[in-house]
Amino acid sequence: MLKGHQTWVFDTKPVIRASAAVGGPFEAKGALADDFDILHEDVWLGQDSFEKAEKKMLEQACEKAIDKAGMKKEDVQFFLSGDLMNQIISSSFAARTLGRPYLGLFGACSSSMEGLALAALIVNSKAAENALAAASSHNVAAEKQFRYPTEYGSQKPPTAQWTVTGAGAALVSQKGEGPRVTSATIGRVIDMGLSDPFNMGAAMAPAAVDTIQTHLRDLNRDPNYYDLIATGDLGSIGHEITGDLLDKHGIKIPPEIFTDCGILIYKKEQPVLAGGSGCGCSATVAYGHFLNRMRKGELKRLLIVATGALMSPISYQQKETIPCIAHAVSIEM
Amino acid sequence: MLKGHQTWVFDTKPVIRASAAVGGPFEAKGALADDFDILHEDVWLGQDSFEKAEKKMLEQACEKAIDKAGMKKEDVQFFLSGDLMNQIISSSFAARTLGRPYLGLFGACSSSMEGLALAALIVNSKAAENALAAASSHNVAAEKQFRYPTEYGSQKPPTAQWTVTGAGAALVSQKGEGPRVTSATIGRVIDMGLSDPFNMGAAMAPAAVDTIQTHLRDLNRDPNYYDLIATGDLGSIGHEITGDLLDKHGIKIPPEIFTDCGILIYKKEQPVLAGGSGCGCSATVAYGHFLNRMRKGELKRLLIVATGALMSPISYQQKETIPCIAHAVSIEM
């Protein structure tokens, strides 16, 4: 089960029976709009707060994934979810609606793959037949909590990223057909002393490098084993730094198989600065776009390396640097 | 592995090789002072913020548990931790210090047993030889974040509870001697429509009842199987309600084997209103007091039912009710 230092190999290869992605109006204009199951024109989703809109989106992603699997809520034995809101209220309130045994997670934007790794572990261990992993973020709810009221229209540097309004869910099962979760590398916290919350990509890059390096070493694997290696939400700046750092460590990932969810999700003309971010970024791109590509036969072996910046507004105000983490999950047909 | 609907039975019975509890000055005057490994006279722990004090306390609990097990940091393969701070910064910053692969959790005050359940699952699945589960809370850091600056001296109703300044850690291993984790019941979110953040005990009681009932039913077990069944931090009000509700459901737990960590931790003369609360409450009472009693031979079979109120100040301001959860873990000699 444990290979090397920090990689789990799932011998039963739990299957992702179904997955779903829900997005907002900005995502509807994005590059991957076709891969969302539900797209909302209204960033409020008809709710009276952005927090409730995020919860609603997460609930929809869960319900859609369960529905696509031809299952009922009751068939989900455990629900694992995380998000960026204080006390992960989006996840906990969605768990209330879902009514299933619930494990709340927090790994900032890495919560998506933390959830998928643990769901696969649970299913692989026969601790469940079916487990649902999900994650979400909402642009305005996140801006409000972490930065400034959007009405201020405060300017941001080009290194800043745009929090994705989106939720993704994956139903992981012992039985069924679909892409299979084959391994997961749980990351360590890496902090290189960066403290700029408007340059998370640079802060998270070393964590991505550490996890990719560990994953390949633990499994004695060459990067070319994969058809695609995608980091979570490093954006254009962080992705470039990650490539450079990997190069320095002697790991050459060919550019055509190395990408980032935060780069892929929006069109070049959208004003997202360095790209997308948030738990909803890797969750929607992985559970929508990538899994669709796998189901179409375009990808056979995928490694998703979800990155997370584990700071808070308080830790920033207290002049702490940004602890970062990355969890990698391999999915294969 | 999965028994009934939501209970994991750990066939290898992972062992808690060592555990540690760290507390603050108020806990040093409490009823269980002798069971803490480290007690601080200074609520700041020499740090320049309460948040940093909490992180320090959590680090000390982890280091102490590792040390008591006769191990080194490097022997810990995975670190699982949760706390009440926004974005669980206490856990994430402690994870940075520890440098081990990290899974961040959030289940409010139930985070302690969520961590122990998952650590036991990981060890039982051979996904690790050793995993460290921890949780913490800090009275002043929590008051500051969730309620009012303590300097206001705002009054509280008698149903309110006192957040424990404490951190607990348990080192769970495949090998070694000590109390063993035999099963875990993962709770569902239960919300009976209560919304008063100064009466968390009442809000959480139904979640405790649901998990206790499910645990006993899943394992076809009588409450008298246990020498002690302890809820996490319901306090005196919530504990009484839980007893009444269990009675109504036909589950009779003899009063002499039914207790609550929030009732036990402080002395009657301490001004804690309905009792202790916070992630550090069940973590320190379980990993300090209860495990010490097991090691002394006073208890053979223990069920800890850690409860959590999964709300946030924002959800409260938006007039949401309080979603609650409870996770139960059985520990046996």
Question: Cα separations (Å) of B317 from A144, B14, B184, B196, B199?
Answer: 15, 42, 34, 11, 16
Which residues of chain A register pLDDT less than 70?
none
- Mean pLDDT, residues B6-24 taken together: 98
- The residue type found at B319 is K
What pLDDT score was predicted for residue A257? Answer: 98
Do B127 and B226 share a structural domain?
A: no
**Residue B6 maps to a domain:** no
- Smallest CA–CA separation between A106 and chain B, in Å? 5
Last residue of a domain, one of B173, B192, B225: B173
Do A117 and A168 share a structural domain?
A: yes
Domain that holds residue B132: 14-173
Last residue of a domain, one of B125, B147, B173: B173
| Chain A residues with CB-CB distance to B315 below 8 A | 51, 87, 89, 93
Quick check: B180 pLDDT over 80? yes
Q: Which of A5, A90, A186, A214 to mutate to test the interface with B (most CBs of B within 10 A)?
A: A186
**Residue B1 maps to a domain:** no
pLDDT digits (tens, 9 = 90+) for B272-321: 999 999 999 999 999 999 999 999 999 999 999 999 999 999 999 999 99
| Chain A residues with CB-CB distance to B323 below 8 A | 92-93, 95-96
Nearest CA in chain B to A128: B2
Do A22 and A138 share a structural domain?
A: yes
pLDDT digits (tens, 9 = 90+) for B104-133: 999 999 999 999 999 999 999 999 999 999
Do B208 and B79 share a structural domain?
A: no
Q: Which of B7, B74, B315, B322 to mutate to test the interface with A (most CBs of A within 10 A)?
A: B315
CB–CB of B5 and A82 under 8 A? Answer: no
pTM: 0.98
| Chain B residues with CB-CB distance to A325 below 8 A | 92, 95, 102
ipTM of the complex: 0.97
Contact B158, B148 (CB under 8 A): no
Following DSSP, what letter does each residue of B263-303 receive, concatenated? Answer: HHSS-TTS--TT-EESHHHHHHIIIIIIHHHHHTTS-SEEE
CB–CB of A106 and B99 under 8 A? Answer: no
Question: Cα separations (Å) of B256 from A19, A157, B229, B230, B253?
Answer: 48, 62, 10, 11, 8
Which of helix, strand or coil describes residue B310?
Answer: coil
Do B230 and B116 share a structural domain?
A: no
**Residue A198 maps to a domain:** yes
CB–CB of B311 and A89 under 8 A? Answer: yes
- Smallest CA–CA separation between B269 and chain A, in Å? 32
**Residue A4 maps to a domain:** no
Instruction: Tell me the count of A-B CB pairs closer than 8 A.
Output: 181
pLDDT band at B147; cut points 50, 70, 90: confident
What pLDDT score was predicted for residue B36? Answer: 98
Do A190 and A155 share a structural domain?
A: no
| CATH code for the domain of A199 | 3.40.47.40
Do A252 and A155 share a structural domain?
A: no
| Chain A residues with CB-CB distance to B95 below 8 A | 188-189, 310, 323, 325
pLDDT digits (tens, 9 = 90+) for B54-63: 999 999 999 9
**Residue B267 maps to a domain:** yes
Do A230 and A210 share a structural domain?
A: yes
Do A236 and A129 share a structural domain?
A: no
**Residue A2 maps to a domain:** no
Question: Cα separations (Å) of A242 from A205, A251, B264, B275?
Answer: 5, 11, 51, 49
- Mean pLDDT, residues B61-82 taken together: 98
| Chain B residues with CB-CB distance to A100 below 8 A | 188
Quick check: B51 pLDDT over 80? yes
Do A305 and A187 share a structural domain?
A: yes
Do B205 and B185 share a structural domain?
A: yes
Q: Which of B74, B89, B138 to mutate to test the interface with A (most CBs of A within 10 A)?
A: B89
pLDDT digits (tens, 9 = 90+) for B149-173: 777 777 888 899 999 999 999 999 9
CB–CB of B311 and A87 under 8 A? Answer: yes
Last residue of a domain, one of B123, B139, B173: B173
**Residue B300 maps to a domain:** yes
**Residue A145 maps to a domain:** yes
pLDDT digits (tens, 9 = 90+) for B26-36: 999 999 999 99
Domain count, chain A: 2
CB–CB of B127 and A2 under 8 A? Answer: yes
Do B146 and B217 share a structural domain?
A: no
